[in-house]
Copies of this chain bind each other. A is one copy, B any other.
Amino acid sequence: MTSRKVVSFENIKVACKNCSLATLCLPMGLTPDDVERLDGIIKRGRPYHRGDHLYRGGDKFNSLRVITSGSVKTYSPNEDGGEQVLGFHLPGELIGLDAIQDDNHTCSAIALETTAVCEIPFSQLESLSCIMPSLQHQMYRLLSREIGQETEMLTLLGKKSAEERLATFLLSFSERFKQRGFSASDFFLSMSRHEIGNYLGLAVETVSRLFTRFQDENLLHVERKHVQLLNIPRLYDIVQGTDSAKSSQSRI
């Protein structure tokens, strides 16, 4: 019975040209003809369930992957047995870029919920990008964007307070959900408090306390994974770290 269900899933193969994520994804900026050619090398497998690994550190690198639904956590093991969460990835986002370097995955990727992905065999993508300059350009842009995003994380971890980190985290999801046509102020987080803390360089307890405090300050309403942002502008103030957030609150 599961097998029949899986087969039906596999039949739901949305071609790039019909995919709502195309504007966020690799086909962005390509002509319809080029999208068609790119589509030709993409593999769409069965969905992953919560806890399934898309790949693990050390695995041979063959494909880049784009999340098409669900969400994924990437992480790398660190020396002393623990892990460092590297990112949370939503539909339209490309993962595995760090593995091009030496043909092996350096980090792992695990589904946080039922998740579908497109696999893009890298060697074929590379060949294709040799004959499709616009695809090559798009690849360079995506790789560069990834570098820019990690740079922002460096500032977050290097300079920001716990409060600023969580506000940044929440607004990042708000913006990304909005981009994808979902509510910017009402969403579910698919990861645990522990994973949020790990990602932000904070202890679980600190994350929990901050959620409570933000709620007490009417910045948001939170119930487990369900978050409703009630005062997005003030969250942006907090991100700025100008401390005007507190004063603007007291001015009310």
Which A residues form the contact surface with B (CB < 8 A)?
76, 78-80, 82, 84, 86, 97-102, 106-107, 126-127, 129-130, 133, 136-137, 139-141, 143-148, 150-151, 153-155, 157-159, 198-201, 239-242
Given contacts A133-B126, A150-B151, contact A140 B100 (CB under 8 A): yes
A147 contacts which of B79, B143, B159 (Cβ < 8 Å)? B143
Q: How many angstroms from the CA of A145 to the CA of B199 in the assembled complex? A: 21
> Are the CB atoms of A155 and B78 closer together than 8 Å?
yes
Given contacts A143-B147, A144-B143, contact A158 B201 (CB under 8 A): yes
Would you list 23 pairs from A and B whose C-beta atoms are within 8 A, ordered by A residue? A76-B155, A78-B155, A79-B239, A79-B241, A80-B240, A84-B154, A84-B155, A86-B154, A97-B143, A98-B151, A99-B144, A101-B147, A101-B148, A106-B151, A107-B151, A126-B133, A127-B133, A130-B130, A130-B133, A147-B150, A157-B157, A157-B201, A158-B200
> Are the CB atoms of A144 and B79 closer together than 8 Å?
no
Task: Find the residue from A136, A155, A201, A240 having the highest chain B CB count within 10 A.
Answer: A155
Contacts of A146 in B (CB 8 A): 147
Instruction: Tell me how many chains of this kind the complex includes.
Output: 2
Closest 7 CB pairs of A and B: A158-B201, A100-B144, A157-B157, A143-B143, A150-B150, A101-B144, A84-B155
Q: How many angstroms from the CA of A198 to the CA of B155 in the assembled complex? A: 10
* A37 shortest CB reach to chain B, Å: 15
A101 contacts which of B129, B136, B141 (Cβ < 8 Å)? B141
> Are the CB atoms of B98 and A147 closer together than 8 Å?
yes
* A248 shortest CB reach to chain B, Å: 16
Contacts of A239 in B (CB 8 A): 79
A136 contacts which of B129, B200, B242 (Cβ < 8 Å)? B129
Contacts of A151 in B (CB 8 A): 76, 86, 98, 106-107, 150
Q: How many angstroms from the CA of A154 to the CA of B249 in the assembled complex? A: 32
Nearest CB to that of A130 among chain B residues? Answer: B133
